[in-house]
Amino acid sequence: MTAQAARRRLGVVGWPVAHSRSPAMHNAALAHVGLTAWRYQLLPIPPTVIEQTLCALPDAGFAGVNVTIPHKQAALAAATEHTERAAAIGAANTLVYREDGAIVADNTDAPALTETLAVLPSPVASPRSALVLGAGGSARAALWALRDAGVADLAIWNRTAERAAALAAEFDALALTEAEAARPVELLVNCTAVELHGADPFAELPVTAAQLARCGALADYAYGPGETRLVAVARRAGVPVVDGLELLVAQGALAFERFTGRAAPRAVMRAAARP
C-alpha cells in the first residue's frame, strides 16, 4: 500500500480545540457517504509547533485538515498553494494535502457566511450595512465575504483598537470606538472569542440586549454546547439569526467536498453538529 492510498485521516487543528463539533459532524458525513475507513479527529496543537506539524500531517496519513483558533494565519503560511480567496482574507481554515505533495489552503468561513445569510428572510438576507465585532481570523473572513456580497457600509469594532484599524484599512471598512459601535445595526456579526472563553458578551462587547433586539439580523460565529448568550437574546427578541453551528455546518460541508471529492450530506452534518 502506498502512502497516498493510506491517506484517509482528517482532523481539526486548534488550541484549544476540545469544544469543536467538527469530529462528530465529519465522521457522520464520512459514514453516510460510505467512506468507512476514513476518520476525522481532534488535533490539539500549540502555536509553538504549528507550522512543522501542519507540514508533517500528510506523512501521517492525513488527506486534509480544518484549522481553527488561533492557527488560521499560520495555516496560510504553511501552504504551498492557496485560493485567491484565502490569500485576500489572509487566513485559511482548510488545508488539502494533495497527492503531488502540494498543501492547498482555502477559506470556507467566508462563503459559509454568504450561504447562511442568503436563507434569512428578505430584506435582512442582503443587508446594505454591517458591523463586525472582532479582528481575528473569522473577522477577516466575514469582512471579505460581506465586501464580496456587495455590502456597501462595513464597520468594525475590536477590543484592541489597533487591530480594528489595521483591518478597517485592509477591507475599506470604518473602525468604530466603543461608543460609536454601541447602536443597533442592520447586520451584527460576532467574530469574537468572548463566549468561547466563558466571558459575558454583554459585559465585554459594545452591545446591550436592548440594542441587539433592534438589530436587523445577527450572525454569531461563536458556538458552544447550547445557544450563545447573544443568540439566545436575539432569538427571544425575534431577530433573525445565523448561529455558529449553522456557520460550522456550511464551512464544514465546503471543506468536506474539498477533502473527499464527494457531495457533502448537509442534513446529516447538521444533525450531528447539534449536540
Out of 26, 72, 82, 85, the active site residue is: 72
Is residue 61 within 8 A of residue 9, CB to CB? The reply is yes
The three-class DSSP label of residue 230 is: helix
Residue closer to ligand NDP, measured from CB, 4 or 211: 211
Q: Which grid coordinates belong to 111? A: 462563503
Using rule CB under 6 A, residue 221 touches ligand NDP? yes
Reply yes or no on whether 238 is catalytic.
no
Using rule CB under 6 A, residue 227 touches ligand NDP? no
Select the residue interacting with ligand NDP from 30, 67, 247, 255 (CB under 6 A). Answer: 247
Using rule CB under 6 A, residue 135 touches ligand NDP? yes
Using rule CB under 6 A, residue 236 touches ligand NDP? no
Residue closer to ligand NDP, measured from CB, 70 or 90: 70
Alpha-carbon span 209 to 187, nearest angstrom: 15
Residue closer to ligand NDP, measured from CB, 8 or 77: 77
Measured N-to-C along each axis, helices 266-273 and 244-260 cross at an angle, to the nearest 10 degrees, of: 130
Q: Which grid coordinates belong to 235? A: 432569538
Q: Quick one: which segment of 33-41, 67-75, 79-87, 120-128 binds ligand NDP (CB under 6 A)?
A: 67-75
Using rule CB under 6 A, residue 177 touches ligand NDP? no
Nearest to 8 by CA among 22, 27, 24: 27
Alpha-carbon span 154 to 130, nearest angstrom: 5
Q: Quick one: which segment of 45-53, 80-88, 215-223, 261-269 binds ligand NDP (CB under 6 A)?
A: 215-223
Beta pairing partners, 138:
none
Using rule CB under 6 A, residue 70 touches ligand NDP? yes
- Count of residues near ligand NDP by CB under 6 A: 29
Nearest to 166 by CA among 175, 179, 176: 175
Is residue 197 within 8 A of residue 134, CB to CB? The reply is no
Q: Which residues bind ligand NDP (CB under 6 A)?
A: 69-70, 72, 109, 134-139, 158-160, 163, 191-194, 196-197, 199, 204, 221-223, 244, 247-248, 251
